[in-house]
Amino acid sequence: MKKHRLERVAEVVREVAAETILFNLRDPRVKMVTVTRAEVSGDLQHAKIFVSVMGSEREAQLTLHGLRSAAGFVQKKLADRLSTRYVPAVSFVLDKGVKNALEVARLLREARAADAGANASADGSTAQDEEE
């Protein structure tokens, strides 16, 4: 199948999943969820929806469990929107990319702060040496 068609279908899957999770799901386990991307198989039979969950690891697992139980509902909403022969079977996957990016940003901030502190103390000792 053509790559651009798969990308268009994946974008529709992402849109429908995000809209359904945000406005239609009433499961109390599903909260603070962001749909980051979707991947569709070449035969349009399977779709992986990648989600990011803010909170602890336990909350993320609980939310993922709630999403997996609501997969049929999301698939039904997807069937209403798509006009293909088959509706992709939906599965949810926890996307750790956002949390990893936040962790890398935190480490970079700490490294800059440590580097700035080391430079400030080195500049201070050089100024003292020049005064003597």
Question: Per-residue pLDDT tens for 24-48?
Answer: 999 999 999 999 999 999 999 999 9
Residue linked to tokens 């798969």 = 6
- Compute the distance between CA of residue 47 and CA of residue 70 in angstroms, rounded to an integer: 14
- Which tokens go with 95? 């996307």
Count other C-beta atoms under 10 Å from residue 27's C-beta. 14
Please state, for a pLDDT cut of 90, what percent of the chain lies above it.
Answer: 75
pTM over 0.85: no
Note the pLDDT of residue 119.
83
49 CB-near residues (< 8 Å, 6+ apart): 13, 14, 17, 35, 38, 74, 90, 91, 92, 93
Classify 53 as helix, strand or coil. strand
> Coil, helix or strand for 14?
helix
Q: pLDDT for 51-94, tens place per residue?
A: 999 889 999 999 999 999 999 999 999 999 999 999 999 999 99
User: Could you tell me the maximum CA-CA distance found in the chain, to the nearest angstrom?
Assistant: 84
Q: Which of 25, 76, 86 is nearest to 51 (CA)?
A: 25
